[in-house]
Amino acid sequence: MIKAPRGTHDVLPAEQPLWARVLGEAEALCGAYGYRRIVTPGFEETELFKRTSGGGSDIVQKEMYTFADRSGRSLTLRPEATAAIARAYVEHGLAREPQPQKLYTVAPLYRYAAPQRGRYREHWQVSVEALGSADPALDAELIQLYSELLRRLGVTDYELLLNSIGDAACRPAYLERLSAWLDRHADLLDAEARGKVETSPLRVFDVKSSRVREALEAAPKIGDSLCAACEEHFAAVRCTLDALGVSYRLEPTLVRGLDYYTRTTWQFEGPDGGQQSTLSGGGRYDGLVEEIGGAATPGVGFGAGIERLLLALAAAGASADPPSLDVFFVLDDGAPRERVLAAMAELRRRGLACDTDYASRSLRGQLTQAGRLGAARTVIAGPARAVVRERGRPDLEVSLAELAATLAG
């Protein structure tokens, strides 16, 4: 039997109401905050992601779905949305429109990682980005937007981690200090940490070994090495978050997986006990647009995992109502089906949700089906007359000719 590919999943009709609620709230919020929807291709030139994510990133090193098309071009299923949005921003001259450009997209992303609960090879994210402004109020706005989404969906069990990782002015000097420290204390590190010293020293802070972590507490932190401009920016972000009533925990070792981040980085951590607890994550990327050939342009944004959010929602016991049905038509023996179908079409034209039996069910079976579908009213049609049945009301008998008018009125 052919099954969905490893790491992918179907979203069945029964799950759609909850998906619609999540996506509906997300889109409504983006609109309320002035973000406009953008849709980019599902795949891009491989070079785009290689350049922006960074050669040392896990995405580029082992997670991209890269393939050559029939003409030999190297293409990659998008593993993240920000680079694609920045590409569109440059390509279509959005930089010449009023700044900032506040954009969002809802799209499936592809990463060849080992599937696990809450971690898929194809997963959906809502990505929200503000390009063209370095205003720290935007960092705070984006963070607050997502916390508002959580609030609206009833997710309260989470934590916001916040950090600043500096910029091109102060990070290089910090990395040298860190590297020097790591060299001096190489004996304290394990193999995993040593491996990172070469590729991306910042990420040594990610190691799991508690012994190494303890040792690293004495290592220089980026927060103590920020230049004045970064320091000021970060202070403004925190100040605005305080004003917005968003609580957070400063996490000096929070480093995100993509090379393009500068200054503010953040992550929302959900309740799911396992390792896949990140609900959303983002940060500022003031060098990204320039990296792909645009003018120097600041930017900030985040990606929020839909499946992860659904997991948190399930933990919070959330549910959503299935779509409602206005009228279900039951046909008794001898009922003229064509006339009933015509009446149904007329009602649908008037905006009523109608359905009937297509499975040759018995009268009892049809009534059961009406109940299952949650029909507000049920019409039991006979040869010449019909009974309109509505919960809490006496049955109403009408002729078939009056049926559509009665139900529409």
Shortest distance (Å) from residue 319 CB to RNA:
17
What is the residue type of 207? Answer: V
Shortest distance (Å) from residue 245 CB to RNA:
22
Task: Please report whether residue 359 would count as binding RNA according to CB under 7 A.
Answer: yes
**Size of the residue set binding RNA (CB under 7 A):** 65
Residue written as tokens 């040298």? 176
Q: Which of residues 178-217 bind RNA (CB under 7 A)?
A: 192, 196, 203, 206-208
Task: Please report whether residue 354 would count as binding RNA according to CB under 7 A.
Answer: no
Cβ atoms 400, 385 nearer than 8 A = yes
Work out the number of other CB atoms within 10 angstroms of the CB of residue 314: 12
Task: Please report whether residue 284 would count as binding RNA according to CB under 7 A.
Answer: no
Shortest distance (Å) from residue 231 CB to RNA:
25
Q: Which of residues 303-342 bind RNA (CB under 7 A)?
A: 303-305, 307-308, 328
For 355-384, b/e burial (b = at least 16 CB within 10 A) is bbbeeeeeeeebbebbeebebebbbbbbee
Among 6, 249, 349, 350, interactor with RNA by CB under 7 A: 6
Task: Please report whether residue 375 would count as binding RNA according to CB under 7 A.
Answer: yes
Task: Please report whether residue 349 would count as binding RNA according to CB under 7 A.
Answer: no
Q: Compare residues 231 and 332 and give the one whose CB is closer to RNA.
A: 332
Shortest distance (Å) from residue 106 CB to RNA:
13
Shortest distance (Å) from residue 306 CB to RNA:
8
Q: Compare residues 127 and 240 and give the one whose CB is closer to RNA.
A: 127
Helix pair angle (306-315, 16-32), 10° resolution: 110
The Cα–Cα gap between 98 and 131 comes to 11
Shortest distance (Å) from residue 248 CB to RNA:
16
Task: Please report whether residue 362 would count as binding RNA according to CB under 7 A.
Answer: yes
Q: Which of residues 119-158 bind RNA (CB under 7 A)?
A: 119-121, 123, 125
Beta bridge partners of 281: 267, 303
Among 74, 156, 368, 399, interactor with RNA by CB under 7 A: 368
The pattern of x and - marking residues 256 through 275 that bind RNA according to CB under 7 A reads: xxx--------xx----xxx
Shortest distance (Å) from residue 52 CB to RNA:
12
Q: Which of residues 97-126 bind RNA (CB under 7 A)?
A: 111, 113-121, 123, 125
Q: Which of residues 210-249 bind RNA (CB under 7 A)?
A: none
Residues that bind RNA (CB under 7 A): 1, 3, 5-7, 57-58, 80, 111, 113-121, 123, 125, 192, 196, 203, 206-208, 256-258, 267-268, 273-281, 303-305, 307-308, 328, 359, 361-362, 364-365, 367-372, 374-375, 378, 389-392, 395
